[in-house]
Chain A
Amino acid sequence: MPTWAQFVLLSAAKSVVVIIILLTAVAYAVWLERKVVGRMQNRWGPTRVGPFGLLQPLADGIKFILKEDIIPTNVYKPLYIAAPMISVALALMSIAVVPFGEQLRFGSFSTPAQITDVNVALLVLLGVTSVAVYGVALAGWSSNSKYSLLGSLRASAQMVSYEASLGLSLIGVLLLSGSLSLREIVNGQSGTYFGFLPRWNFFPQFIAFFVYLTAAFAETNRIPFDLPEAETELVAGYHTEYSSMKFAMFFMAEYTNMFTVACVGTLLFFGGWHGPALTFLPMVVQSFVPLFWFAFKIFLFLFLYIWIRGTLPRFRYDQLMAFGWKVLLPIALANIVLTSLYIGLTTP
C-alpha cells in the first residue's frame, strides 16, 4: 500500500474512533451533569432507564431522532438548516488537532494518539472556535424570531469579546513553552519543580489559567455566562425555534465545545496525559495509562463545570461585557507582560 493511502486510511479510522468516543462521552457528560446536579439539589437525576439511568442518553437520542422536526414558516431555510450543522461540524473539527496521549502501541505497530499532529495546533483550535460563532449568529438571524435574534446577538458579542481574553491567556503558556504544537507544550511539562511539584504550566501561569477558565465558561455559554440561552429571559435564546435533531445538534455542539476547552485546559495547564506512572499494571494496558490520566483530568474539568452550574446565578449582559473587557482583558495582558519580563530577565 502506498504511504498516502496508509495515511488516509489511518486518519479516517482514527477520526471515526475519536468521533464515536467523543459523542458517547458527550452523551454521558449530559448524564453526568444531570446526575451530579440532581444530587446537589436533593434529587436523584435520571433513574428510570437502565441501572442508575445509564441508558438515559440512548433514550434521549432516540427521542431526538423520532421527534417531529418543525421548521417555522418564516425562517430563511438554507441558513436555518445550515446553522446547526455549522455548529456541530466546527465543534467536532476542533478535536482533530487535540492529542490524547503518547504513542499508542499495538504489537509492533504504533501511532500517535491524535488525529493529526499539526505544529500550529493551538492556532487551528483558536481559529475553529472563533468560526463557531457563525453557527450561533446564523441560527438566531435565520430563525426570524425576536428572542432568537436577541440570543444570537448576545452570543456573538460574548464569544467575540471573550475570544480575546481566551487567546491572550494562552500567550503566557506559549511564551514558556516556545511552541504552538500541543504535543510539544505537553512534553514541556514533564518532570517536576523542586522534585515534588509536577512541572505543570498551572503553577507559573495560574493567573492565565483563571483567565482561561473564565473565558472558557463564557465561550461555551455555561452558567454564570449562559446569557445567550438564558431561559428565564430569552426563552431558549438562539435555538428557540429549533426542534428535534437540529436542536440536538446545538446541544451536542455545546457539550463538545465543553470537552474541547477542557482538553485545551488540561493540555496547556495541567500537563496533559502526564501523571504518576502506574507500574503495577500489566504491560498490555501500560500504553493506555496516559489516556487514563488525560480522561481523568478532563473529568475533573467537567465536574467543575457542573459544580458551578449548581451553585452560581447568572450575570447580566452589560456586566458580562464589562467584566470581559475591563477585568479579564487587562489581567490577561498584565500576565503576558509579567511572563515576558520573567523570561527576558532569566534567559541570557
Chain B
Amino acid sequence: MAHLSPTPVLDAGQERTMILNMGPQHPSTHGVLRLLLEIDGETVVRMAPDIGYLHTGIEKTCEAKFYQQVVPLTDRIDYLCPMTNNLCYVLAVEKLLGLDIPPRAQWVRVMLNELTRISSHLVWLGTHALDIGAMSVFLYCFREREDCLRLFEAVSGQRMMTSYFRVGGLALDLPIGFLDRVRDFANKFPERVDEYEDLLTSNPIWERRTKGVAHMSAEDALALGVTGPALRASGVDIDLRRDMPYSSYEKFQFDVPVSSDGDVFARYILRVREMRESIKIVKQGLDGMPTGAIKADAPKVVLPDREKMKTQMEALIYHFKIVTEGFTVPAGEVYQAIESPRGEMGYYVVSDGTSKPYRVHMRSPSYANLQALAKMCEGKLIADVVAAIGSIDIVLGEIDR
C-alpha cells in the first residue's frame, strides 16, 4: 500500500547514511510531528517532515455547524492561543456581516489577545529551553502561564478552550475585579521575564547552542511563506498588528522587534522582546479601557440580554431563532488575517447566504513555518534539529486541522 501512503519516503542515499525516524512519539517534536532524517553519523543529510497525525477534520466540521457554533472549534486548532483563533474567525464573519463592534469589546479583545500571546510564548519558551536542556525555565514559564490561564478562566470559565469572543462582540462582560487582576499580572510579569533571561540570554552554553544555528535568510523565509517572529528574525519587518491593524490595534503604541541574524537565538530574543511589548499593550488596554456595550447592535446576529428576553417579546423571538436556526450571513467570501503568536493566522470564510459556512479554510502559520525546517536543518547536527523545531514554534493541531 506504499503507493497510497502520503508518507514521504527517503531512501538512504549512500552506503554510509541511515534513516532515523524521529516522531511522531518523540519528546521534542512538540506533539505528533514526524521527521524522517537521513543521517550521516550525527549530521542530517536530508530531512522530510511528515504531518497528519493530529488531523481532526475541523475545517470540514465547520461546514456542518452554525456560524456561532464554529467558535468553539477554532479554540481547538491552536490550543496554545485559543483567543487568537476566536478573534480571527469572528473578525472574518463580522466582515461578511458588516458589523460595527463597540470599542469596549474591541479593547477587551486586544488585551486578551496579548495575554494569549504571552501565554503562548511562555509555553514556547519553556519547551524550547527544555529541548536544549534547561529544565528550570520550563517550570518558571509554566508558573506565569498559570496566571494567564487563571485570567482566561475568570473571563470565560475555561482555562484553555475559552470560546470567549462571539460574532458581534463578547460572550459576557468582564467579571468584577478582573482589570485589577490583569494589572497585578502586568506589573509583576516584566520581572519574571528578566528571570528567564538571567538563566538563558547570556548563558554561554545557551549562546553556543542557538547563535548561528538553523540560519534562514530573508529570501528563503519569504519564498517559503514563513511569517511571524521567525520571519522578523530573518530581518523582514512585517507585523500585521501594525501593518494591517484590526480590532483597533492602531490605537496602541508598541514596537515590533526585528533582527537580521536569522538564527535560533534571534528567534528566541525576538519572542522574549515580544512578550515585553505585549505587556505594554495590555497596560495601555487597562489604562484606556472604554466603558459601554460589549455587543454590536445587531439583534438578528447577537443574542439579546437576559433582562430583555424577560421583558420584550422580540428579544425572546430573536433568541429562539438565533439558537435554533443560527443567523444567516450574506453570500460572499472573506479573508481575514491577524498576527497570531506564530505568524499570520488567516481565516478564509465563504458564505452561500445560509446560516452555515460553505467553506472555512485556515491559513495556519505553523504549516508554512514548518516548510522552512528542512532548509534550516540540512547539513546540521541532530541536536540542531531539536533547537530548530523549537525555534519555529509549531503547534501540530494547527498544522493538521
Contact = CB atoms under 8 A, between A and B. Distances in A.
Nearest to A231: B27
Interface in B93-151: 129-136, 138-140, 143
A312 B18 contact: no
A226 interface: yes
A313 B133 contact: yes
B205 A317 contact: no
A146 interface: yes
Contacts of B132: 232, 313-314
Contacts, number: 84
Given A41-B139, A309-B135, A316-B383, A233 B205 contact: no
State the majority secondary structure of interface residues on B.
helix
B20 A146 contact: yes
Contacts of A37: 135-136
Size bracket, chain B contacts: 20 to 34
B174 interface: no
Contacts of B384: 316
A296 to B, nearest CB: 26
A227 B381 CA distance: 13
Contacts of A318: 42, 381
A40 interface: yes
Size bracket, chain A contacts: 20 to 34
Contacts of A313: 129, 132-134, 200, 203, 205-206, 209
A343 interface: no
A235 B25 CA distance: 9
A312 B205 contact: yes
Contacts of A147: 20
A146 B383 CA distance: 15
A289 interface: no
Contacts of A311: 134, 136, 199
Contact of B130 (A42, A146, A232): A232
A230 interface: yes
Contacts of A235: 26-27
Interface of B: 18, 20-21, 26-28, 42, 129-136, 138-140, 143, 199-200, 203, 205-206, 208-209, 381-386
18 contacts: A40-B136, A41-B139, A42-B139, A146-B18, A150-B20, A150-B42, A224-B133, A226-B133, A230-B383, A234-B382, A311-B136, A312-B134, A314-B132, A314-B134, A315-B208, A316-B209, A317-B42, A319-B209
